[in-house]
Structure formats: C-alpha cells, structure tokens
Structure 1
C-alpha cells in the first residue's frame, strides 16, 4: 500500500485519526502535510460530518478535499466491540492516535491510553477536547465557540460597545489543532530518547488562552481589563485600517518611532514626525484619533495600488485587507505556493491553502485530496490488521466496516 506524503519531515510516522469536525481533523491534515501516514477512522454510512459542512456542491463540502488531504479513509464502526477490537489492532501498528471525542469515550471503548500502551508502549495518544481530560468540568461538551469564549478571545473581538464577536473563522478549533501538532511532534522527539509514549492533552479553551498575551496580569496587577477596541490597539499608533481613494481598506503599521518617521516622509508631511502630539510612542497613543484622521486624509487621495507602492518604497509595513479573490490573485501567494489546485475525483481543480511552514530539505506535499468514505478500508485492514477475505466478508455483513 502506497504511503502518502512520504517526502515530508514526518515521513515514516503513522497516525490513527479518530474524531470528526475541525479540531482533531485539522491537526491530522497538518501532520499529513508534513509526511505522516494518516489513517482516518470514520463511521460507516455517513462518515465525518465535515464531508457536508460549509459550502456544499453536489453533496460534498468544498472544504473536505483540503481538511482530509493526504489521508486514508477507513469506514469502521467504533461503537461496536468488534470495531473497537480492529481499532486496537490498528493502534498497535501506529505511532500516534489523534482523537477529539468527549473525555472518557475512548476509555469506555477500550481505546484509552492505558489500554493502548499495554499493547504498544511507544504509542502517543493526542487528545483534543473542549475543556481537557482532567478538572471538574472536563466531561462537559465543549465546542470551539465555547473554548473561544472561555479562552478570552471573544471578549476582546469586535467594536467597542458591541457584543463579543466571532473572528469569522473557527479560530478555537484551529488553535487547538496547532497545539496538538506541536504536542505530537514534541512527544515524538522525546520518544526517540526514552522509547516510551505518553498522552498529550490539548484543551481548546487553553489553546485560546495561551495566545491572550498579558490580559490576566494586566488585570490583576494594574486593574486594566482589555476589551473590544475594533481595529485599533489602544496606546499604539498609528496602527489601523485606512480607506484608499478607490475604496480599498489598507492596514498600516507605523507605530515604531523610525517607521513613523518613514511614514511621514511617504505622506510628504515630514513635519508630523516632530509635532509634539506625535513625536514619541506615548504621545501618538494619546492622540491616535487625530493622527489617524491626518493619515486617512492622505490615503483617501490615492488608489490602493499607488498607496501600497509608496509605502513599500519608504519601508512602511502595509497591506490591503484581503478577501478570497485577492488571495487567489496575489503574486506572493503564487510565488510561495500558497494556492494549490490539486484535482479532485470528479476532475475539478479546487484551490486550497498551501503547506505551512516551508521545509528546505524535506518539503511536505499534497499527493491526494479528501478520500471517498471507506476508500482505503480493505487495504488498511488487510495490511495492518491481518483481515483476510473471509474476515472482511464477515465484517461487512455485520456492519462493522464499509468499503
């Protein structure tokens, strides 16, 4: 059986992916991007609900080809004892089990860390859940939105005076997936020294909280409660979004003293650099509203293309607020292969985000897009679980597998 993505830095690592939706499967996508062989277990019949999430065409999610790329699909009923037994056998041949069920589910199925470590001492079990595997609330259901709320990012997202807002993407799930990949990679490094596996416990709310900068200490030590401020960061200026003559929104970050002076030069207003209202970081923060008005009077006189050209020439960080069409057309995206167009089973080339980060010697790759449900069940069970033709027929008849 051909291994997928074998050129990447995780080539030779085999991952058994259990779970559904975003947090676990996105971690699986990244591991597969980096060359791991990812075997995705899905319930027979329906499969992962992500197959039908988001924008759907011809009965399939347009997201599915990306979040399941490079993976092998095994349709296996984990709610049946015989399906659990097959999964244990597969886990005995894997380096990593990645799961995002509610805590306690795997233990109830005989697939918890202790059970798996007894047959595979080097196994690394990576848990992704809303509230973690321990603590008084660990058994509660916890989706990404709840993790974003508890982690603090919802409170700080949106305009002042508005209700807490969503960022526009499933940021809590994605952050948890990133920490799951960090934890997996770190545990693999440690196992190379000790020979032993371990559990990696990622809680969505903790993944969000870990990125909340100094919000807790700001409150406890200084009584400052960081909240929603829209497109600005209080006390830091100029760093905002400004409108161009042709209606584009341009982000400009000129808050460092040297950069601010270059911005004044770009504007043809060198006197603003020495204006006592703006001549140091603290003064600009106090007078940010007035300064932003000065800047937008200038940006509103130029097209986005001309504006960005001038700012680039003067070494001022700036960028257009991109939409999907901008990403698809951008030369930097194209040059760094951040828009991939692999062909799906129906012959359609659908764009998807490229691989991050870039590896100079062992680059990752997208060799296949999201598979058909159960596309690899027979091959995987034959190779890794020793299921012969008779055993396969029996599993199919009893609804344990579908292929």
Structure 2
C-alpha cells in the first residue's frame, strides 16, 4: 500500500536493484529507500527472503519484514534459470546501484561478474557485502554477522570478566556492514557524478565493519601490548562511567568529565571525593575506579530510578535509565521526534515501527509504501523493463517469475 505523496527524497531518481536477503544487504536497501531511492528487490519464487518468516509473525508474515522492506518493490524471479538471469541483467542495465550479499563467486557463476555488469552498465555502483570480503584466504568461508562480530573483536569485549561472551542483543554485525555499505554507495554515487559517470565496486566484509568501530583496540596493543578484556558495563580507562543499581532498576551514569565529576560527587553527598586532588583528572579517577563505583552505587541503591535521574539532571550530570521497548513506547521524546510511526501493512493491519534516521532538514526520509508481499510488483517491474504481457505470462508459466 502506498502512502500520501511527499516531496522527493534526497535520492529521488536513484534506481537500486537489491539481490540480497536477510539483514546486511536489505538493511542497506531499506536505508536508501527511506531517502527516496526506487528499490527493486529480487526474491526467489515460492520462498522469498527468509526474513519474511523470522521472529514474531502476524498474519503469516514477520513484523520485522514490515520495517526492513518498506519502500521496496518485490519481483519474484528465479535467478537459477538462465532466463531469470537475463531479466536480472535487464534490470541492472538500467540501475544506478546493485546490492548483493551472496557468498563470493555466486554472481560470477551466474555470468554477472563486476566486469560483465560494468560492460553492460559502466555507471553501475555495485555493493557486495560478505562475511570476509571478495579477496583474501577466507573469502570462500561461510560468514554470518555473529561470526563477523567475533572476528572483528566485539564479542570478546561483550560480557562480564571470566564469563561467556554474549551477544549485543541485535544483529549488530549485519547492521554495521549495511551502514558502511550505504556510506560506500553514497560516496561512489558522488564520485560518479563528478568524475565522468564511472561506477565502481564496494567490497564490505562483515568482520571489517565491526572492526572499524573498535576504537583504540589496535593502537593500544601496538603501543603497549595491551589486550583489552571484557569489563561488563564499565568503560575501561574512563571513570566513573558505569551502570548502577537502584531500588527499581538500573541507571547509567557518565560522570567522567572533570567538572561533571565534581558536580556528581556533590549530588551524591561526597564532596570529599570531588575535592580530592588526585581525582581531579581521569587518570587519577581510573586508579580509584572501584572506590568511586562503590560510592555512586551506595547512593543509587537507596533511591528509585526516577529519583536518581531527577537529582543528576539538576546537577547537569549525564545519566539515563536502561530502557526496555515498553519504556521506548511510552517515552514522549521518541514521539516528539517522530521516532515511532504507525504504518499500515498490505495485510490490512496497522503496526508501530521505528522512524527514519538520520533527519535531513530539506529532504527528510519518509515511508512511501508498505513492505510488499512476495512478487507484488513483478508485472510492473517487468513492463518497465520492456516485456509484454504475453512474455510475462510465458515466463510465469515456466516458473521463471511468480
């Protein structure tokens, strides 16, 4: 279902062919689509993207699908058949961007190598997301986002010291790869615009996208031989910054700025610590971090979450409640900034979904159409590619399209 017309988005006029499935490739397509790109999603007839059936289903379809595939059009096309591959090439020939997250070599096996596609469409920007990248000794190994999180260094740090490494709770490896892919696509489109219309290939490895956000991990090892270890909820080397128990929940307190630390100590009734000369800078506070955490924890343990937040807000100390989705749903700030939207699905029900990020002042992202049913747009997309009704009917009879 389409939504009321809005002003053209920042990527209006950009045609994207999405050949990925599940999370990494499709999240990138979702992001581009929210800012106006026309995203044509190719799915396998009969089954479609497996994400359609992941986690909680309503009326037979995942509610996650309603977010991940909004603003996209779906064509059910069998890429294992030569005629299906021919149709894909027709679509790619007219596209600005191709997104794929198959195992390296899959496209080449279908006769769609970057070289072949660039002969067909020299301006094509081709995003390839895979576990280990298109080159290197691990390129052919199967890789999912969770493996990328492990190899990228993140899993070693998530958890309590001496305990099993834990998930972040969402598919962060896939999403980081998708966001890096979106950055690459935008950079490549700009390069194409100012450098004669030439396209290029963007190679994103899941583990590299994770590794890219690992902050000081490598230089600390290089300079000091330091191997950073899990630290639970604390921020190693920065103090005080931790989660603290209250009578009815947890709060995070970031009191690590020099002046902020003084205000925090006043707020919790410990000016003796705030005025201690050796605690005037971060290095001194790190040396006594256990003592500081104990002092803050003793104060929060006697108070409710809201009481702690009110006191620290008055003292201008950054602090926040650990939100559940219920907290998000009830929070007025989320609603004031349009981060919770009601979206009508093609199955006829309304569901609340996340808003669009980032927020552009002149060309904000929008939800223009709800997530498609499998093959909803097959005929329309094929007609745009120049096929007649008779040709489409024959392809459907052969099982090439659905």
Query: Same-fold call, TM > 0.5?
Result: yes
d(CA) in 1 for partners of 2:317, 2:279 = 17
d(CA) in 1 for partners of 2:231, 2:178 = 27
d(CA) in 2 for partners of 1:99, 1:5 = 29
How far apart are residue 347 of structure 1 and its match? 2.9
1:119 aligns with 2:120: yes
- Contact in 2 for aligned 1:340/1:351 (Cα 8 Å): yes
Q: Which moved more, 1:288-297 or 1:61-70?
A: 288-297
- Contact in 1 for aligned 2:3/2:367 (Cα 8 Å): no
1:390 aligns with 2:390: yes
2:361: which partner in 1?
A: 360
Q: Deviations over 1:31-69 (max 9, x none)?
A: 111111100000000100000011223321110000001
Counting only pairs closer than 5 Å after superposition, residues 44-83 of structure 1 correspond to structure 2 as 44-83=45-84
2:153: which partner in 1?
A: 152
| Structure 1 SS opposite 2:291 | helix
1:88: which partner in 2?
A: 89
How far apart are residue 306 of structure 1 and its match? 2.1
Give the count of matched residue pairs: 400
Sort the Cα spacing of 1:5 and 1:114 in 2 relative to 1 into closer, same or farther, 3 A: farther
Q: Deviations over 1:223-243 (max 9, x none)?
A: 110011101123321100112
Q: Which moved more, 1:177-186 or 1:164-173?
A: 164-173
2:140: which partner in 1?
A: 139
- Contact in 1 for aligned 2:23/2:174 (Cα 8 Å): yes
| Structure 2 SS opposite 1:91 | helix
d(CA) in 2 for partners of 1:394, 1:239 = 65
1:324: which partner in 2?
A: 325
| Structure 2 SS opposite 1:233 | coil
1:372: which partner in 2?
A: 373
2:401: which partner in 1?
A: 401
d(CA) in 2 for partners of 1:12, 1:284 = 54
| Structure 1 SS opposite 2:154 | coil
How far apart are residue 248 of structure 1 and its match? 1.5
Sort the Cα spacing of 1:207 and 1:281 in 2 relative to 1 into closer, same or farther, 3 A: same
Sort the Cα spacing of 1:228 and 1:185 in 2 relative to 1 into closer, same or farther, 3 A: same
Sort the Cα spacing of 1:188 and 1:316 in 2 relative to 1 into closer, same or farther, 3 A: same
- Contact in 2 for aligned 1:20/1:100 (Cα 8 Å): yes
d(CA) in 2 for partners of 1:5, 1:201 = 33
d(CA) in 2 for partners of 1:86, 1:44 = 14
d(CA) in 1 for partners of 2:354, 2:96 = 27
Q: Deviations over 1:80-115 (max 9, x none)?
A: 000000000001111000000011111111222111
How far apart are residue 6 of structure 1 and its match? 6.3
1:340 aligns with 2:336: no
Q: Deviations over 1:330-387 (max 9, x none)?
A: 111111111111111233221221111000000110122211000000001101x211
TM-score, normalising length: structure 1: 0.96
d(CA) in 1 for partners of 2:101, 2:393 = 30
| Structure 2 SS opposite 1:98 | strand
- Contact in 2 for aligned 1:257/1:280 (Cα 8 Å): yes
Root-mean-square deviation (Å): 1.7
Sort the Cα spacing of 1:131 and 1:5 in 2 relative to 1 into closer, same or farther, 3 A: farther
d(CA) in 1 for partners of 2:106, 2:5 = 29
2:222: which partner in 1?
A: 220
Gaps of 5+ in 1: none
- Contact in 2 for aligned 1:6/1:35 (Cα 8 Å): no
Q: Which moved more, 1:278-287 or 1:24-33?
A: 278-287
| Structure 1 SS opposite 2:182 | helix
